Amino acid sequence: MGKTQYYIPVGPIHPALKEPIRVEVEVEGEKIVKVDVKRGFAHRGIEYMGMKRNAIQSLYLAERICGICSISHPYAFVLGSEKALGIEAPPRAQYIRPIIAELERIHSHILWLGVIAHEMGFDSLLFWTWKGREKVLDLLELLTGNRINYSVFMIGGVRRDIKESQIKAIKDTIDFYRTFTEEMKNVFLSDPIYKARSRGVAQLSKEMALKLNVCGPVARAAGLRMDIRQDNPYDAYADIGVKAIVPQDIVGEAKGDAYDITLVRLYEIEQSLDIIEFCVENMPEGKIMAIPNYVVLLSRIKKKAGESIGMHEAPRGEVVHYLKYDGTRDGPAVWKVVAPSYNNINTWGSLLLGAEVADIPIVVAYIDPCLCCNDRIAVVKNRDGRVIDYSLIHKKAIEKTMRVKRELGVRE
């Protein structure tokens, strides 16, 4: 007589999920024997909207593809646009950009450390790490005016300079995180309970990582020396000489499990501090915008045709923006975004198969998924396979919303 199998659906709405996705598993006892991952529950049509607006408006749409990585998509957007349009950011702007990007990497990695601790049941560790994360958010607010969605990057430079009076705050924050990161390394990497809960869990081999085309910390935890800042350096990264952080350089081997990816992110925080310090100490004087007048910028965009790819190493992995300008309008004619979670979610099937039910939250959190980065447009087809008219879908959605409002007695 065979063992009884049970079907367990997780999502798209579930207390353990911050964004909608569906993971369906079948289990025998506590062992997962079948996995099916379904995505595509959140559609915002950002790329489509961006191709109907001017380049500056599209840039701020790019910033809202992801809330946590809200500098990563604008970074790739401006790099791609500058290459396509033949615009070069001033040297000072090329040093300010990595400072903001690396501050974002620090807060994103600390956020992940808190989340993975929470998924393992260490809520006190979650609160401790997130309290420590506040200081970098305060600094970002000081430099840009916002804790999230900084609105500081622009095609041809940056919108805000770093003043001499702000340098001390940056250096104080660096000093704080050098101490705090050592404390986090001691807690996460030396604690026997965390080590027992993370070693061998969500273990991704180097061969499987290559086969699934993963990127970012997920690839580096598996031992792959992949990092856009190293392989295709841009702005000040070309002067710094960034080297990919891999476990074999630190502990002698890469197992690609939850412990190794924790190690990678902790050491990347230290690397980010070094990058910020280098940029602050070597930042050249001068202007921060190649074309400070936005009317002139849009006019130049309208007259210039070109296409290019902009790439940035986001905290989750490589962000790629393809942009094409046709020389007839002041915005992109074609805009396509590829986010790191699009690749990394593919690991869930192999990592969950054979794992235990209790490991599901760890495997899901392992890649630090961002689902809103992936679901940007919906293509709806009828039974004949024909694409349904989008205007009709929009009209029906409005009619349904109005009907529900009337039924609930909501006043306009």
**What is the per-residue pLDDT across 26-75, written as a single tens digit (0 to 9) for each?**
999 889 999 988 887 777 788 888 999 999 999 999 999 988 888 999 99
172 lies in the same domain as 249:
yes
- Assess if residue 353 is contained within a domain: no
Q: What is the pLDDT of residue 37?
A: 87
pLDDT in tens, 203-261: 999 999 999 999 999 999 999 999 999 999 999 999 999 999 999 999 999 999 999 99
Rounded distance between C-alpha atoms, residue 204 and residue 194, angstroms: 18
Mean pLDDT of 346-366: 90
65 lies in the same domain as 213:
yes
77 lies in the same domain as 198:
yes
- Assess if residue 153 is contained within a domain: yes
- Assess if residue 246 is contained within a domain: yes
Query: Taking a C-beta distance cutoff of 8 angstroms, is the pair 353, 26 a contact?
Result: no
Tokens matching residue 246: 């891999």
Tell if the pTM clears 0.75, that is, is over it: yes
CATH number of residue 224's parent domain? 1.10.645.10
Closest CA to 111 of 134, 90, 95: 134
Tokens matching residue 362: 């760890």
Mean pLDDT of 195-209: 93
- Assess if residue 4 is contained within a domain: no
| Beta bridge pairs of residue 183 | none
187: helix, strand or coil: helix
Rounded to the nearest 5 percent, the helix, strand and coil shares of the chain are: 50, 15, 35
212 lies in the same domain as 146:
yes
Domain boundary among 309, 337, 365: 337
CB atoms within 10 A of CB 149: 15
CB atoms within 10 A of CB 315: 28
Q: Which helix (H) or strand (E) holds 177?
A: helix 164-190
303 lies in the same domain as 398:
no
DSSP one-letter code for 49: H
311: helix, strand or coil: strand
pLDDT in tens, 76-111: 999 999 999 999 999 999 999 999 999 999 999 999
Examine the pLDDT at 407 and tell me if it is beyond 80: no
68 lies in the same domain as 181:
yes
Mean pLDDT of 119-146: 94
- Assess if residue 332 is contained within a domain: yes
| Beta bridge pairs of residue 5 | 28
119 lies in the same domain as 244:
yes
CB atoms within 10 A of CB 5: 11
Q: What is the DSSP string of 344-407?
A: HTTHHHHHHTT-BGGGHHHHHHHT---STTT------B-TTSPBPPHHHHHHHHHHHHHHHHHH
Domain coverage including residue 167: 50-337
Domain boundary among 318, 337, 356: 337
286 lies in the same domain as 404:
no
Query: Taking a C-beta distance cutoff of 8 angstroms, is the pair 351, 202 a contact?
Result: yes
- Assess if residue 41 is contained within a domain: no
Burial class (CB in 10 A: 0-12, 13-18, 19+), 150: buried
- Assess if residue 369 is contained within a domain: no
Examine the pLDDT at 151 and tell me if it is beyond 60: yes
222 lies in the same domain as 331:
yes
Tokens matching residue 228: 């856009």
CB atoms within 10 A of CB 195: 14
Rounded distance between C-alpha atoms, residue 93 and residue 161, angstroms: 8
Burial class (CB in 10 A: 0-12, 13-18, 19+), 133: buried
Taking CA atoms, 51 is separated from 75, 84, 183, 372, 396, in Å, by 18, 15, 46, 19, 23
Query: Taking a C-beta distance cutoff of 8 angstroms, is the pair 343, 317 a contact?
Result: yes
- Assess if residue 97 is contained within a domain: yes
* pLDDT band, very low/low/confident/very high, at 401 (cuts 50, 70, 90): low
Per-residue buried b or exposed e for 278-295, using 16+ beta carbons within 10 Å of the residue's own CB:
bbbeebeeeebbbbeeee
- Please give the backbone phi and psi of residue 5, each rounded to the nearest 5 degrees, phi first: -105, 140
| Counted domains in the chain | 2
Examine the pLDDT at 390 and tell me if it is beyond 70: no
400 lies in the same domain as 254:
no
261 lies in the same domain as 407:
no
182 lies in the same domain as 276:
yes
Q: What is the DSSP string of 246-279?
A: -THHHHS----SHHHHHHHHHHHHHHHHHHHHHH
Domain boundary among 276, 311, 337: 337
